[in-house]
Every structure is written in structure tokens, then in C-alpha cells.
Structure 1
């Protein structure tokens, strides 16, 4: 006789648990109330004004943030914390500080009485993915034809000067241009505070250093430009010429370091010549010498503008000398 059938209970199965998404830490944890807005990929600038109001720029011009204003004590604590995240101190002895933050942002803060109202904070946020010319085409900054002209300038090792007013996208365009450099070349960048994020496998960067409380130990842009000449650069890039370093840059570009690039602040095409002459004067260059150096060094000028919050490439042309001798964009 076969043995009687005995039912066997199925093995116990543990209940399924939902898979939890990994927690992604914020890029800028030290920004306090600004952190959620800094995580928005559309935001390029976050600002705190003297009245404690918070503002953002997400490509449409400045917009107020829907958060209560900060009182002076809270604004000061936030400013001190932001600057400390970049490794520097903000206090009454050093009331204005510019730093680079971990995660890719540049922060500037000012305390009263240097600020005539309350504490001020200005934060420029870099993209998580570096800009390419195709990205700038899609954003409306430039057309496909303009992008191709810029690619050709990089291929032909033209020296390029990007100019325009504050917030017009000079750093973004400069990074996108340098991303077009062949991967077998070495790019050396020099910046006051490092902002350039270039999609290229061989980029080395130098950043200025402020003097300590005793007034020693500072390293300025001019000194760093001289250092780059000993670093075998295929492309020399100065993030922004603000002073006497313009003489070092023009000298380098005139001595065989072709294919370089830099940026300069100017309000419009007519103001570029006066701006270059003013920078040259800081370096002790006579106007005639500055004009001759600039004409020999700069092959292509790219002028950017900003209108109603939108960034736009306004002109591409050579640097030329007008009938009155002044420099202008051709």
C-alpha cells in the first residue's frame, strides 16, 4: 500500500519590500535656506540683498524667492557659513571675501559697514555638466552658423577674446569653446576664482591666492600667467582679465602661444577699446603699445549681450583699428 498523502506547507516567503531610491546628498549643503534653490539646474545665480530678501536668476532675469526675508543676524550667519565652506573667514577684519565652493559655485559676501545695508551674498552656480556649443545653441545664445564659426576659430588656433557685460555668459561660452580643443592638447587655465568647467581630458588650472592677514603670500593673475609659460601649454586661457595681467596675456599670445583665449568685461562693442586701454594703463603700457599688442595678439572677438534676462551672441569679428586709432570689433 502506498503511504498516505501528507500535504506539505509551502515555504514561507518574506514579503517584498519596496526598493528605496538612493539618497543623493545636496551639492551645496552649507547654503542653508538657499540649498533647495541651488539644486535647481536652471538656476545660475542666487543673491541676498541688504534687506534680507533672496533672489534667483534662472535665465529670465532676477526673480524673488518665495521665502521670508532674513533678519541681519541670520543673514550674517549664512554669509559666514557660506564663506567658511570655501575655506576662508568672513569677519569685521575681512568684510568682503570671494571663494570657490565645493560642488562648483563661486560665492562672494560683504558685511556692513562695507555694505551700506545688511550682509550681501552673491553666488554663481556652475552646471553639473560642462557647457558645449550645442548646449548654447539650444539655449538660444547662438545660432548653428555662429557655433560653426567658433569651432573653426578653435580648429585654426585663433586667439579668441570673449567680451560683454556681467552675467552675459562669457565664462560659459569660454568653457564651451575650449571643449572643442583636440584631446591631444593641454589646456592651462588661470582664474581669480576658479569657475571654468571644461569638458576636456587634459585641463590644469591655476587660481590666485589672497594675501594673509599680514599682507604676504598673495599670488596674482599676472604671476600665474607667467607660471603657465613654463607648463607647456598648448592653449593658455585666462578666465577674466581685470587688471595689469592683460600685459602678460598679450605678451604670451604674441610669442607663439596661439589658440589661447580670455574674457574681458565691457558694456558693448564701442567700449572694448577703452576697456583694454584702461587695463593696459594699470600695467604701465602706453596706449600705442597696448593697441599694437592687442591687434597682433587677438584674432577673433566674440561680443555677448544680455537683454530682458536672455543671453545672446551679438557679434563675431576681428579686432580692428578705427580711423581715430581706437580699437573696435570689426
Structure 2
């Protein structure tokens, strides 16, 4: 990326100081022209991109964030930058002038996310205007200097046929997945970080009939399903004064009053699990959500941990989840390949707890097809027309 002369950058910043907080490319180009520099169209376009990165983006990291397929950009120090394209971390060639430059970038990005980062508040978790998730820490929490972790937002818009072609699931499971959605099963998509939960969720939402109204609730807009009637709601963090927060729990409760045919929670990661289970237990069939879990069998423990944040006792969680949820779809990632590894049914355990039983498994390879267990035929009979 073209480097911007500090003097020119300061001049552009002063010209934009009375304008919008996040100037667009047109405003940046006008400010660059007004600086008096003689710039051709190509040079102006390059400088506009560079100035945007320095003023409203991630500075020297912006080029990495915009690289195709990037999921994470990590800064451990001025000469220690790493990037992940979904197949593991690799060292990047990006360099900072020194520790103070890393800290300055972290502070500026935190401000873009409406948060503060300083000695009194040395850790920040924020969303940048483009949806990128920022986590950063400075001294004294990070004694060797500021560290930055950026998770890239990629809107998930692939449909199910595209995922099947990409090897995300065996073709034999397409009628089952389609039947689960059209039969209005309540689905939980699970998996670890980066396994493609949001991508599969968007593909499943795309199977919903065009005559249904879908309300999506997310921390930041990631779901972009191919569907004509989607209303997207996104949470809002409190500002630097600690006010203005709108939580996922608030949005799920609000979605119930917006005449939804389906409620889709992008990621259930806290107390909002109570509102989700209550919604699915009060006639809102066909709901979907994602949850972090290491295996389908671990979902009961994960739901208990999340529900504890809402003050729900274990017995109440098991009873609500057994009545609300029908099927768990668990994803895994291996060597950069994301695939649907387990289909599991949900029900009450003989002991009175929650039971999640895998009825179909797949290792992600064509050579070894899916394997089925007791309960698969019952699932097919119930959900596949």
C-alpha cells in the first residue's frame, strides 16, 4: 500500500476535522486535492486508499485485512505480525516503526469502535465500523507493548448447493437438511472457532420459503442469506460513557414483537440463551442459532454454562432445551477444510438431564462416506417428506 507522507496526512486530517467522523473516499479525495499536491488519477486513487487506511481503517494492517480469505490478523509487536487465511497462522512482512506506533494504532481503532484504550482502561473489545472485531491490550496488561487481534467479518451468503460442491457436507444429506428447514425444526449449529457455523446457518436460512419473514439477531451483521424477506438486527455496545448498549437478549425479546416467522440468532454466547429457549418454547418453530462447542455431545454442558449467566438452574435448562431444540448440526475444520461432521438429535435423558445423541457422522472425505447410528431412520421419517 502507498505510504502517506505524515505532513500530507496531517493536512488532510485538519481539513476533515469539521466533517464526518468517518469520511468516505470522495471526501478524502477532495481533501487530498485541496492540499495543493499535483496528483494524477491513479496516484490520487492510491493515496485515497492509503489515507483511508490511516485515518479510518487499520493503517498498515488494512492491506492484510482486505486480502482474500483472511480470517485473523494478529500483532504481537512492531516486527511480529501474523495472518491466518483459514489454514493456519503465517508471519506477515508488515512492520511498524516501533512499539509506540502499535499502541497508537490500537488506541485509534478502539476509538473508531466507540471505546477507550489507555492506562486506566488497558483492554478493549470492540467492533470496527466495517464489522471487524478488535481485541487489544496495552501496558500494564501487556508488559512488552501493545498487542492487537483482529477477526475479519465475512458476510456468509453461500447457498447449500455451493457448500455441497465445496465439500462441506455429503450430497446424501441434502434432503435431510432441506427437510429440517422446511419442516420447521429448531436447529442448533455448533462447532469451534472458524469451522463455518455462520456460513452453514446462512445457507440453511436460504432454504426457508419466500413467504416467510425472518428476523436475524447478531452482534455484527454477518448473515447475508439469499432470501427476499430478512430483517437484520445488530447489537450495540455501550459508548465511552457506558450508555447506549443494546444486548442480544434485548434484541431477541424485541424480535418476538416484530411478527417473525423465524428467529435466527447468529451466535448464542451468553445470557441471551434464556430468551432463545423461551422463544422456541412459545410457538416460534423453525428457529436457528449457533453455539461454540467441541462436539455435539458437549452441547448440554455448553448450554448449562451459558444459561448460568442468566441465572437459570441446570434442571430448567435441560427441560427448556429438550422441549425447544430438535437437531444439532456440528461442524469441524481440518487442514483448512470445513465440513458438517455430526447430525444429532436432542431430547431428555433418562436421568432427567439433556441428551444430544449423534445419529450420523462424517469425516469430511469422499472415500469414507457417512456413518449412521440408531435414531437416523426415525429422524429421516420425521423430517424428510
User: What range describes the TM-score normalised by the shorter chain of this pair?
Assistant: 0.7 to 0.9
Please name the residue that 1:3 is paired with.
none
Show structure 1 runs of 5+ residues with no match. Answer: 1-19
Please name the residue that 1:311 is paired with.
338
Shift of 1:158: 1.2
Q: 1:238 to 1:129 in 2, by over 3 A?
A: closer
Q: Relative contact order: is structure 1 or structure 2 higher (C-alpha 8 Å, sep ≥ 6)?
A: 1
Match of 2:301 among 271, 274, 278: 274
Aligned pairs for 1:1-330 within 5 A:
29=53, 30-49=57-76, 53-68=80-95, 71-115=98-142, 117-127=144-154, 130-324=157-351, 325-330=353-358
Query: Could you tell which deviates more after superposition, 184-193 or 316-325?
Result: 316-325
Q: Partners in 2 of 1:303 and 1:152 — Cα distance?
A: 17
Q: 1:160 to 1:51 in 2, by over 3 A?
A: farther
Q: 1:115 to 1:262 in 2, by over 3 A?
A: farther
Point out the structure with the larger helix share.
Answer: 2
Q: Partners in 1 of 2:125 and 2:148 — Cα distance?
A: 10
Q: 1:262 to 1:90 in 2, by over 3 A?
A: same
* 1:69-90 alpha-carbon deviations (Å, 9 max, x no partner): 6632121122233334444443
Q: Partners in 2 of 1:239 and 1:95 — Cα distance?
A: 29
Shift of 1:260: 1.0
* 1:149-193 alpha-carbon deviations (Å, 9 max, x no partner): 322222111111111112222122222222222233222122233
Q: Partners in 2 of 1:192 and 1:93 — Cα distance?
A: 26
Contact persistence 1:188–1:203 (CA under 8 A): yes
TM-score of the aligned structures, taking structure 2 as reference length: 0.71
Please name the residue that 2:365 is paired with.
none
Contact persistence 1:99–1:193 (CA under 8 A): no
Q: 1:122 to 1:180 in 2, by over 3 A?
A: farther
* 1:233-259 alpha-carbon deviations (Å, 9 max, x no partner): 111111222222111100001111111
SS at match of 2:58: helix
Q: Output the aligned Cα RMSD.
A: 2.9
Contact persistence 1:100–1:106 (CA under 8 A): yes
Contact persistence 1:105–1:195 (CA under 8 A): no
Q: 1:171 to 1:108 in 2, by over 3 A?
A: farther
Q: Partners in 1 of 2:133 and 2:125 — Cα distance?
A: 7
Shift of 1:128: 6.3
* Number of aligned residue pairs: 311
Q: 1:144 to 1:114 in 2, by over 3 A?
A: farther
TM-score of the aligned structures, taking structure 1 as reference length: 0.82
* 1:265-322 alpha-carbon deviations (Å, 9 max, x no partner): 1122232111111122222222121111101111110111223443222101211344
Q: Partners in 1 of 2:189 and 2:309 — Cα distance?
A: 20
